[in-house]
Amino acid sequence: MTVAKEKLLDLYRTIVRIRRFEERVSEEFAAGNIPGSVHVYIGEEAVATGAIAHLRKDDYIMSTHRGHGHLIAKGGKMNLMMAELFAKKTGYCLGKGGSMHIADLDIGMLGAAGIVGSGIPIATGAGLSARMRGTDQVTICFFGDGASNIGRFHEGINLASVWKLPVIFVCENNLWAVSVPTSTSLAIQDVADRGVAYGIPGVVVDGQDVMAVYEAVGEAVTRARKGAGPTLIEAKTYRYRGHFEGDAGTYRPQEEIEKWLARDPLNIFQEQLIKMKMLTEKQAEEIDKEALEEVAKAVQFAKESPFPKPEETLDNVYA
């Protein structure tokens, strides 16, 4: 697969931006600036980066509780995100949703999800909508290994399959659902094998490798766009931090953590690009600097933004 240089640099920018955003979120949470609970995507950035690279602005994604990376990759605005996390009126959801509930319909981001797995049948509906409206929009639905055990995984994918809807189901298998490992929650090695139950392709991909994800999802997107139906893609990945900010994650074996840290998706991609001579170290530094600046501005925006007024609690229940 050959990918244009500009595209590769875009992907690199995306993965860096996600990483730097999440690192800052983690800091701001620790500093007490972000209330509630926050799940960061550090370690898993290659998945959103590689997958969403195939989408047009009018395509859809369905995200999860660990959703910042998806939104950034789809073109979400860091300042509106950060403001939302800070519970400010200028945030994506007017400060009403917080980390687990950001949506941006303008760029086809249909929402994060506080209830694990809830997005799966909704994504099927987005696919149905594209079909019924006669567009060739596709939908990528992200969810975790934990979510792959919930009933709606089954119902949602089955429906997408029998109707051959343009939906790509991307399981981000980071081996853990909070403290429960996949080894005790699935009796199979690969979530991808569950595609058999719906007569759709099931593909396993290295979720630490942007290029691998890019390639696998590319095929699935092509398939979906031409009306051949859904694909189930499983990206093997790992979350580098606790389940939520504040979770020490002591249930995970240290060797396992180290093994995965050694396969940092950002490092891997950087090395690949440098080796391919698509990126210089200097460029990498610049991109990093830009990302840090963007994040800093987002934090500044968030900090300077006003809180909503208490009475705004009462708005936005009904259209």
Partner 1 sequence: MREINFRQALGEAIAEEMERDPAVFIIGEDVGKMGGLMGEIGGLYDKYGPEKVRDTPLSEAAILGAAIGTAITGLRPIARMRFCDFMGIAWDEVLNQMTKMRYMFGGKIKVPLTMDALSGAGRRTAAQHSQSLEGMFMCMPGLKIVLPSNAHDAKGLLKTAIRDDNPVLFLEHKLLMWGGLKSEVPDGEYTIPFGQAEIKREGSDVTVVATAAMVQRALNAAEKLQQEKGLSLEIVDPRTIVPFDKQTVLNSVKKTGRLVVFTEECATGSFAGQVAAIVADEGFDYLDAPIKRVNAPDTPVPYGIILEDFWMPDENNLIKAINEITV
The residue ranges that bind Mg ion (CB under 5 A) are 144-146, 174, 177
**Closer of 177 and 302 to ligand TPP (Cβ):** 177
The site map against partner 1 for 277-316 (x = CB under 8 A) is ------------------------------xxxxxxxxxx
- The answer to whether 138 and 166 have CB atoms below 8 angstroms apart is yes
Rule CB under 6 A: is residue 174 a binding residue for ligand TPP?
yes
Residue-wise burial string across 290-315, b where 16 or more C-beta atoms lie within 10 A, e elsewhere: ebbebbeebbebbeebeebeeeeeee
Task: Pick the piece of the chain touching partner 1 (CB under 8 A) from 9-17, 180-188, 224-232, 269-277.
Answer: 180-188
d(CA 301, CA 286): 22
Longest dimension (CA), the chain: 56
Q: Work out the angle between the directed axes of helices 5-30 and 265-275 (0-180°, nearest 10).
A: 150
* 206: three-class secondary structure by DSSP: strand
Residue closest to 17 by CA, chosen among 62, 51, 54, 48: 48
Q: Which is nearer to Mg ion, 145 or 294 (CB)?
A: 145
Residue 207 in the binding site for partner 1 (CB under 8 A): no
177 binds ligand TPP (CB under 6 A): yes
Instruction: Assess 162 for contact with ligand TPP (CB under 6 A).
Output: no
- Measured CA to CA in angstroms, residue 67 lies from 40, 70, 190, 238 at distances of 8, 5, 23, 15
Residues of this chain, 277-296, that bind ligand TPP according to CB under 6 A: none
Q: What is the DSSP string of 143-193?
A: EETTGGGSHHHHHHHHHHHHTT-SEEEEEEE-SEETTEEHHHH-SSS-GGG
How near is the Cβ of 117 to a second copy at its closest, in Å?
A: 9
What does the per-residue mask of binding to ligand TPP show for 41-70, with x meaning CB under 6 A?
------------------------xx----
Instruction: Determine, following the binding rule CB under 6 A, whether residue 152 of this chain makes contact with ligand TPP.
Output: no
Q: Give whichever of 161 and 237 is closer to ligand TPP, judged by the CB atom.
A: 237
Judged by CB under 8 A, the residue of 150, 171, 216, 279 near partner 1 is 150
**Shortest Å distance, C-beta 151 to a second copy:** 2
Q: Of ligand TPP, a second copy, Mg ion, none, which one sits near residue 115, judging by CB under 5 to 8 A according to partner kind?
A: ligand TPP
CA distance 208 to 113: 23
Total residues contacting a second copy by CB under 8 A comes to: 22
Partner whose binding site includes residue 2, from partner 1, a second copy, Mg ion, none (CB under 5 to 8 Å by kind): none
The binder of 116, among Mg ion, ligand TPP, a second copy, none, by C-beta within 5 to 8 A per type, is ligand TPP
| DSSP for residue 57 | T
Q: Can residue 145 be called a binding residue for ligand TPP (CB under 6 A)?
A: yes
Q: At what angle do helices 45-52 and 210-225 cross, to 10 degrees?
A: 40
DSSP 231: E
99: its two tokens: 């980390």
19's CB contacts (< 8 A; 6+ apart) are 42, 45, 266, 291
Distance CA 207, CA 45 (A): 8
Q: Which is nearer to a second copy, 26 or 124 (CB)?
A: 124
10 binds a second copy (CB under 8 A): no
Q: Specify the residue, 193 or 219, whose C-beta has the smaller distance to Mg ion.
A: 193
Chain residues in the site for ligand TPP (CB under 6 A): 39, 65-66, 114-116, 144-147, 174, 176-178, 243
